[in-house]
Amino acid sequence: MSGPSDSGAQRADETDVVPVPAELRAGRRRLGRGAETGDAQVIALATADSVPAPRPGMPLLRQRRRELRGHIVDGKLDAVRRQHSLGKLTARERLALLLDEDSFLELEPYRRHQATGPGLAANRPHTDGVVTGSGTIDGRRVFVYAQDFTLFGGSLGEAHAAKIQKVLDLAVANGAPVIALNDSGGARIQEGVLALNGYGGIFRRQVEASGVIPQISVILGPCAGGAAYSPALADFTFMVRDTARMYLTGPDVVEAVTGRRVSHEELGGADVHGSHSGVATVVHDDEHECLADVRHLVSLLPSNYLEQPPVTAPTGAVEDYRPKLAEIVPSEPNQPYDMRDVFAEIADDEEFFELHAGWARNVLCALARVDGRVVGLVGNQPVVFAGVLDGPASQKAARFVRFCDAFGIPLVSLVDVPGFLPGVEQERGGIIRQGAQLLHAYCEATVPRIQVIVRKAYGGAYIVMDSRSIGCDLSLAWPTNEIAVMGAEGAVNVLHRRDLAAAADPAALRARLVAEYTEEYLNPQYAAERGLVDDIIDPAETRAAIARGLAMLREKRKPGPARKHGNLPI
C-alpha cells in the first residue's frame, strides 16, 4: 500500500526540475559571453545535450517490475487456453503441484534468446520457454526445471539450454535431487547447431551427476529427437498416458523410411515405454497423480550419495511376527503366488514403491521401508513366466541394484527362481550378456545385502540372484528352499536317461529317482550344512530377521578396488 510519502516521491519524479551542475552553469556563461548573433540555437542545443534526462524513481521502477513479472507469470492467455484444451497444465501449475507451497525460487525469469533466425528476432519472450529454479518437497531442497509448451512449443535453444545447465550445476554443487518436467517439441530449428550444442551440454552434466544426486524426469507432453536422451539418462522417468510421448524419430519420418503409418501414441506413448521399451519407470493416468507420486519417490531417496535416505520412526520390525507369509507361499515349488504379497508383509505399513511395474514383470523391484529405513527389494515373480530370468528382467534388476548401491540403499533379494529362460530367441537376443549385467551389478555392490531363498533357486539364476558366492552378507532360507543345479525332474532326466529308456516301468523308476534326488540334494539343510546359507528361518520371522540383519550391517564399510571403473557388459 502506498502512503503519502510514496505519492509525493512519484510527483517529484515526474515534475521536479533537475538542478544544473555549477560546471554546466559556468559553461553557459562562457558560451553566452562569446556568442555572436545567431549562436543562440547552438547554445541551446549544447545545453540540452549536457543535461541528463529525468530518471524514474524507485516507486515507478517497482511498478514496472511488478507489471513485467506479472506478464511473465501469467503468460499468453490464448496459449494457456490451448495448453489446457490439450488436457495439460502449464509449467508453473505443474511446479505448484510438485513443490511445497511458496517454496519456489525462480532463476533467470528475464532470460531471452539472442538469436536472429527466421521469426525469432521479433519474438523474444522472457524465460525462453523454460521455468527454472529451486524449491522444497516435504521441506527438503530440490532443483527443478519445467519446459513451457506455450512458448515456442517448449523447444530448446541456446538460452533455454543454458538455464537448464545452470540448474544441473547448482543441483550437483548443493547435493540436491534434480527434477525435470519435460514438455518440448525438441530442438529449436532456427537456432541450428547452437540448439544441438545446448543438448550436448545438458547430457554431459547429467552423466557427471549420475550416482552423485538422484535425477528424475517427468514426461508431460512431447519429448522428441535428442530431447529423449535426457530422460534415458535419468534415474527415474515418469510418463502420463495420452499426453506424454517420447521418440527419436516421429511418425512422419517412420512412414517415410519404412512405409508404415503409426500414431504418436503407438510409436512412443506412455504404455509403449512402460510395458515394452522399459524407458518409463512409472506410468500414470493424469498429471496430478503423477506429480504426487514424484513427491512420494523423493521422500524415499537421499539427497545425494553422501547422505542417507530420510529415516522415519522405528516400527518394531525386529520383533514382528508375520504368520501370513507361510500362507501366501505354497510349499509345492510349481504353484504360483504373487511376490508382491510377500513384499507387503516385509515392508512397513505394507507399503512399497514399485518401479517398472509394467515391464519385465517376471522380476519385481521396489523401494520400501523396514523398521523406518529405506531398502531396495528385488524379487522373482512366480505368477509371470514362473519367475524365470530373461534378458529384460536381468536388465531391469541390474539397473535397480546399481542405483541402490550408488546411493547407499541396502538390498534385500527374495529368491524363487527356476533358472534362466531357455530358447533360441533368448540366446540370440543376448541373454548371456544381459544376465551378466545383473551378475556384475550385484558383485560390484558394496551396500548391505541380504538374500532370502523363499523356495527354489536353480542353476546360474541362483548365483546371479545375490548368492553367498558373489558376496551377499547374509543368506537366509525358508524350510521350503531348494538350491540345486536344476529341479529334481530335470536332473533325473539328464542323469538317468539310459536307465529310464531301458526300464520296464519308466514312470515308477522316475518317481523313485526323483524322490531320492530330492532327499539327497534338495533338502533344506543341504546348503546350510555347507555354509552357503546362514540360517533357516520360519517364514513368519522373515520381516524380523531382515530387520535384525539390516541393523547388524548398518555400519558396513567395503571400499571398492583401486581402478578407474569396471566395464559393465552393456
- Here the cell at position 320 is 514382528
Closest to 307 (Cα-Cα) out of 402, 374, 383, 236: 374
**7 domain residue, yes or no:** no
Same domain, 96 and 225: yes
pLDDT in tens, the chain (570 residues): 444 444 443 433 443 444 444 544 444 444 344 444 445 555 555 555 567 778 889 999 999 999 999 999 998 999 999 999 999 999 999 999 999 999 999 999 999 998 888 888 889 999 999 999 999 999 999 999 999 999 999 999 999 999 999 999 999 999 999 999 999 988 898 999 999 999 999 999 999 999 999 999 999 999 988 889 999 999 999 999 999 999 998 899 898 999 999 999 999 999 999 999 999 999 999 999 999 999 999 999 999 999 999 999 999 999 999 999 999 999 888 899 999 999 999 999 999 999 999 999 999 999 999 999 999 999 999 999 999 999 999 999 999 999 999 999 999 999 999 999 999 999 999 999 999 999 999 999 999 999 999 999 999 999 999 999 999 999 999 999 989 888 888 888 888 888 888 888 888 888 888 888 888 887 888 889 999 999 999 999 999 999 999 999 999 998 888 999 899 898
- Here the cell at position 475 is 543368506
Contact between residue 437 and residue 568 where contact means Cβ atoms under 8 Å apart = yes
Same domain, 507 and 537: no
**310 domain residue, yes or no:** no
Contact between residue 401 and residue 378 where contact means Cβ atoms under 8 Å apart = yes
Catalytically active residues are 225-226, 460-461
**452 domain residue, yes or no:** yes
Q: Cβ-count burial of 405 within 10 angstroms (0-12 exposed, 13-18 middle, 19+ buried)?
A: buried
Contact between residue 90 and residue 148 where contact means Cβ atoms under 8 Å apart = yes
Strands (E), 176-287: 178-184, 215-224, 236-240, 245-247, 282-284
Same domain, 471 and 512: no
Beta bridge partners of 236: 216
CATH code of the domain in which 402 resides: 3.90.226.10
Same domain, 255 and 327: no
Question: In this predicted structure, what is the pLDDT of residue 24?
Answer: 41
- Here the cell at position 427 is 540366446
Q: Please tell me the total count of domains within the chain.
A: 3
State how far the alpha carbon of 297 is from the alpha carbons of 302, 421, 539, in Å: 10, 32, 29
Alpha-helix residue ranges (DSSP H) falling in 301-414: 324-328, 339-346, 391-406
- Separation of alpha carbons 243 and 12, rounded Å: 54
Same domain, 374 and 263: no
- Separation of alpha carbons 370 and 348, rounded Å: 5
**123 domain residue, yes or no:** yes
- Separation of alpha carbons 354 and 266, rounded Å: 25
Contacts of 285 (CB under 8 A, 6+ apart): 240, 241
**568 domain residue, yes or no:** no
Contacts of 273 (CB under 8 A, 6+ apart): 237, 239, 246, 279, 280, 283
First and final C-alpha spacing in the chain: 63
> Which amino acid type is present at position 280?
A
Same domain, 348 and 376: yes
Same domain, 207 and 337: no
Same domain, 65 and 213: yes
Contact between residue 206 and residue 215 where contact means Cβ atoms under 8 Å apart = yes
**56 domain residue, yes or no:** no
Same domain, 276 and 328: no
Same domain, 389 and 458: yes
Strands (E), 286-346: none
**135 domain residue, yes or no:** yes
Contacts of 181 (CB under 8 A, 6+ apart): 91, 94, 95, 98, 144, 145, 146, 147, 218, 220
Same domain, 139 and 194: yes
Dihedral of CA atoms 466, 387, 368, 179 in degrees, nearest 10, equals 100
Same domain, 68 and 147: yes
State how far the alpha carbon of 400 is from the alpha carbons of 338, 411, 512, 529, in Å: 20, 10, 43, 32
Residue numbers of the domain that contains 445? 317-481+533-553
> Which amino acid type is present at position 148?
D
Contact between residue 57 and residue 12 where contact means Cβ atoms under 8 Å apart = yes
**412 domain residue, yes or no:** yes
Question: In this predicted structure, what is the pLDDT of residue 485?
Answer: 85
Helix (H, G, I), strand (E, B) or coil at 380: strand
